[in-house]
Structure 1
Amino acid sequence: MKTLKYIFAILILSVSFVSCSDDNDETPMEPNPVEGLNKIYEFPSADHSVEIYSEKTALEVGYNEISIRIKDMASDKYVTNAAATWMPMMHMETMEHSAPHSMLSNTESNSVYKGYIVFQMPGNDTEYWDVTLNYNLNGQAMTETHRVSVTQPADGLNKVQVFMGSDDNRYVLAYVNPKTPQVAINDFQAVLYKMENMMSFPVVENYKITVDPRMPGMGNHSSPNNEDLTFNPTTKMYNGKLSLTMTGYWKVNLKLLNQSGEVLKGEDVTESNPESSLYFELEF
Structure 2
Amino acid sequence: MKTLKYIFAILILSPSFISCSDDNEETPMEPNPVEGLNKIYEFPSADHIVEIYSDKSALEVGYNEISIRIKDLAADKYLINAAATWMPMMHMEMMTHSAPHSTLDNSAESSVYKGYIVFQMAGNASEYWDLTLNYTLNGEQITETHQISVTEPTDGLKKVQVFMGSDDSRYVLAYLNPKKPQVAVNDFQAVLYKMEDMMTFPVVENFKITVDPRMPGMGNHSSPNNEDLTYSAADQLYNGKLSLTMTGYWKINLKLLNENGEVLKGEDVTESNPESSLYFELEF
Which TM-score band applies after superposition, normalised by the shorter structure?
Answer: over 0.9
What's the counterpart of residue 6 of structure 1?
none
What's the counterpart of residue 173 of structure 1?
173
Q: CA deviation at 1:11?
A: 8.9
Q: What letter matches 1:76 in structure 2?
A: D
Distance 1:11 1:152 in 2: 72
Any stretches of 5+ residues in structure 2 without a counterpart? 1-9
Q: CA deviation at 1:186?
A: 0.3
* CA-to-aligned-CA distance 1:45-90 (integer Å, 9 cap, x gap): 0000100000000000000000000000101110112110000000
Q: What letter matches 2:183 in structure 1?
A: V
Q: CA deviation at 1:30?
A: 1.0
What's the counterpart of residue 281 of structure 1?
281
Distance 1:107 1:127 in 2: 35
What's the counterpart of residue 209 of structure 1?
209
User: What is the Cα-based RMSD across aligned positions, in Å?
Assistant: 1.6
Q: 2:134 matched to 1:134? A: yes
* CA-to-aligned-CA distance 1:158-214 (integer Å, 9 cap, x gap): 000000000000000000000000000000000000000000000000000000000
Matches within 5 A, 1:85-104: 85-104=85-104
TM-score, with structure 2 as normaliser? 0.94
Distance 1:11 1:138 in 2: 54
What's the counterpart of residue 145 of structure 1?
145
Corresponding residue SS for 1:22? helix
Q: Is the 1:107–1:114 Cα contact (8 Å) retained in structure 2?
A: no
What's the counterpart of residue 111 of structure 2?
111
Q: 2:248 matched to 1:248? A: yes
Matches within 5 A, 1:21-32: 21-24=22-25, 26-32=26-32
What's the counterpart of residue 271 of structure 2?
271
* CA-to-aligned-CA distance 1:188-246 (integer Å, 9 cap, x gap): 00000000000000000000000000000000000000000000001111000000000
Matches within 5 A, 1:38-117: 38-117=38-117
Distance 1:165 1:109 in 2: 39
What's the counterpart of residue 125 of structure 1?
125
Distance 1:11 1:126 in 2: 80
Q: CA deviation at 1:15?
A: 4.9
Higher mean C-alpha displacement, 223-232 vs 15-24? 15-24
TM-score, with structure 1 as normaliser? 0.94
Closer, same or farther: CA 11–153 of 1 in aligned 2, 3 Å: farther
Corresponding residue SS for 1:114? strand
Corresponding residue SS for 1:106? coil
Corresponding residue SS for 2:143? strand
* CA-to-aligned-CA distance 1:95-144 (integer Å, 9 cap, x gap): 00000000000142211000000000000111000000001111111100
Q: What letter matches 2:232 in structure 1?
A: N
What's the counterpart of residue 200 of structure 1?
200
Q: What letter matches 1:110 in structure 2?
A: S
Distance 2:16 2:245 in 1: 62
Higher mean C-alpha displacement, 175-184 vs 15-24? 15-24
Q: Is the 1:100–1:201 Cα contact (8 Å) retained in structure 2?
A: yes
* CA-to-aligned-CA distance 1:248-276 (integer Å, 9 cap, x gap): 00000000000000000000000000000
Aligned length, in residue pairs:
277
Q: CA deviation at 1:29?
A: 1.1
What's the counterpart of residue 5 of structure 1?
none
Distance 1:189 1:208 in 2: 12
Distance 1:109 1:22 in 2: 32
Q: What letter matches 1:29 in structure 2?
A: M
Corresponding residue SS for 2:255? strand
Corresponding residue SS for 1:75? coil
Q: CA deviation at 1:20?
A: 1.8
Distance 1:46 1:190 in 2: 40
What's the counterpart of residue 154 of structure 2?
154
Q: What letter matches 1:56 in structure 2?
A: K
Any stretches of 5+ residues in structure 1 without a counterpart? 1-8
Corresponding residue SS for 1:105? coil
Q: What letter matches 2:225 in structure 1?
A: N
